[in-house]
């Protein structure tokens, strides 16, 4: 499988490392021979149709800041759209920053990949949150696959548990903690009885909250994930517009103390039942969703199997890279099944 990496930040550099670490097992255990033929970042691209030396590219990125300065294979200023349109490959891994205003540049990258007959694996929630029904249709129309395991729960296989392990059952509702930053802040507030502002500052010092934390604390990140789950798992045709969103800025220590008296706490819960909703919600300390720190947790209620909860880390470079690898292997398997049919 020839692969183009669009974006070469934390996630795709981790993916390159993972490929280097697993090279032998991937061939031996899965018959999988991934070959990264192009990588694009802000500075331009690096292209080699025979396969890039990932160790060298990682050093180059660390030393020079862009892969495009490679004397042998660099293309300074070459855009992702030019690379996707002109380089022969089976799959594009799209991992540019999430933008929930217009989904760009990821949205255009994904559409361009489909138009040129390439499968897409993305970790970028923006295009999916804004246009998932249209994107899945476009993928079907172009007879290519779109996979996005890393967008929900990073390496924790939340989407796969619901879609694959509960195959044949009908999921009737979903509730979950879908954002590690807000869970960290609420856990700190609950355990140390410190204010929202203090807890946010602690999270920023530790690097688990962005300098501009709005995407997390105002509930948008959790809402994006909810949209992806509603479309993929429950076949709802929804976008971010359909989610009622309330973040955690107004959660007070007082409210947490009141909740504690009832053996409860407050968590930022995303739920899909009658509608899609993200809001600070009281839950019992015995609820399986009562997880601390940066953990994510999701409870699926299905018609026959009942209630299942999956818990795991919801972010991290290597974690998310493992989801990309899973998606690529899944695409390989889907193609093999198609060929046999």
Ligand X SMILES: NC(=O)c1ccc[n+]([C@@H]2O[C@H](COP(=O)([O-])OP(=O)(O)OC[C@H]3O[C@@H](n4cnc5c(N)ncnc54)[C@H](OP(=O)(O)O)[C@@H]3O)[C@@H](O)[C@H]2O)c1
Q: Does 129 bind ligand X (CB under 6 A)?
A: no
**Residues binding ligand X: number (CB under 6 A):** 25
Q: Does 313 bind ligand X (CB under 6 A)?
A: no
Distance in Å, CB of 265 to ligand X, minimum? 25
Q: Among residue numbers 25 through 44, which ones bind ligand X (CB under 6 A)?
A: 40-43
Does residue 197 contact residue 314 with C-beta atoms inside 8 Å?
A: no
In the complex with ligand X, the residue whose CB is nearer, 128 or 256, is 128
Residue 228 dihedral angles phi and psi, to the nearest 5°: -65, -45
In the complex with ligand X, the residue whose CB is nearer, 98 or 182, is 98
Q: Does 7 bind ligand X (CB under 6 A)?
A: yes
Distance in Å, CB of 40 to ligand X, minimum? 5
Q: Among residue numbers 42 through 81, which ones bind ligand X (CB under 6 A)?
A: 42-43, 66, 80
Q: Does 220 bind ligand X (CB under 6 A)?
A: no
In the complex with ligand X, the residue whose CB is nearer, 60 or 251, is 60
Long-range contacts of range 293-296, CB-CB < 8 Å, 24 or more positions apart? 293/180, 293/183, 293/184, 293/187, 294/180, 294/181, 294/183, 294/184, 294/208, 295/177, 295/180, 295/183, 296/153, 296/156, 296/158, 296/176, 296/177, 296/178, 296/179, 296/180, 296/183
Q: Among residue numbers 264 through 303, which ones bind ligand X (CB under 6 A)?
A: none
Q: Does 232 bind ligand X (CB under 6 A)?
A: no
- Say how far apart CA 10 and CA 27 lie, in whole Å: 25
| Active-site entry in 111, 125, 225, 332 | 225
SS3 letters across 107-156: HHHHHHHHHCCCEEEECCHHHHHHHHHHHHHHHHHCCCCEECHHHCCCCC
Is 111 an active-site residue? no
Q: Does 9 bind ligand X (CB under 6 A)?
A: yes
Q: Any idea which residues carry the catalytic annotation?
A: 225
> Interface residues with ligand X (CB under 6 A)?
7-11, 40-43, 66, 80, 95-98, 105, 123-125, 150, 154, 315-317, 320
């Amino acid at each position: 499988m020839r692969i183009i990496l669009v974006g070469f930040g934390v996630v795709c550099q981790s993916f390159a490392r993972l490929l280097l670490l697993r090279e032998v097992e991937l061939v031996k255990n899965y018959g999988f021979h991934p070959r990264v033929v192009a990588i694009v970042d802000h500075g331009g691209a690096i292209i080699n149709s025979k396969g890039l030396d990932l160790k060298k590219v990682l050093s180059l990125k660390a030393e020079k800041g862009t892969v495009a300065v490679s004397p042998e294979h660099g293309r300074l200023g070459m855009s992702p759209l030019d690379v996707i349109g002109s380089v022969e490959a089976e799959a594009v891994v799209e991992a540019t920053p999430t933008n929930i205003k217009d989904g760009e540049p990821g949205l255009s990258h994904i559409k361009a990949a489909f138009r040129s007959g390439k499968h897409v694996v993305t970790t970028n929630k923006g295009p999916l949150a804004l246009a998932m029904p249209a994107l899945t249709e476009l993928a079907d129309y172009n007879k290519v696959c779109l996979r996005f395991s890393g967008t929900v729960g990073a390496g924790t296989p939340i989407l796969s548990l619901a879609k694959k392990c509960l195959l044949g059952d009908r999921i009737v509702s979903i509730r979950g903690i879908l954002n590690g930053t807000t869970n960290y802040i609420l856990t700190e507030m609950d355990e140390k009885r410190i204010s929202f502002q203090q807890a946010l500052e602690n999270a920023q010092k530790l690097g688990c909250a962005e300098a501009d934390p709005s995407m997390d604390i105002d509930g948008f990140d959790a809402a994006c994930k909810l949209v992806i789950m509603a479309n993929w798992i429950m076949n709802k045709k929804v976008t971010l517009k359909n989610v009622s969103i309330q973040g955690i800025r107004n959660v007070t220590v007082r409210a947490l103390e009141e909740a504690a008296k009832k053996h409860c706490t407050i968590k930022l819960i995303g739920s899909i039942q009658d509608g899609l909703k993200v809001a600070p919600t009281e839950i019992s300390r015995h609820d399986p969703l009562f997880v601390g720190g940066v953990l994510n947790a999701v409870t699926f209620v299905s018609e026959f199997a009942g209630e299942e909860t999956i818990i795991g880390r919801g972010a991290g470079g290597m974690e998310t890279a493992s989801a990309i690898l899973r998606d690529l292997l899944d695409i390989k398997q889907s193609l093999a099944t198609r060929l046999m049919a």
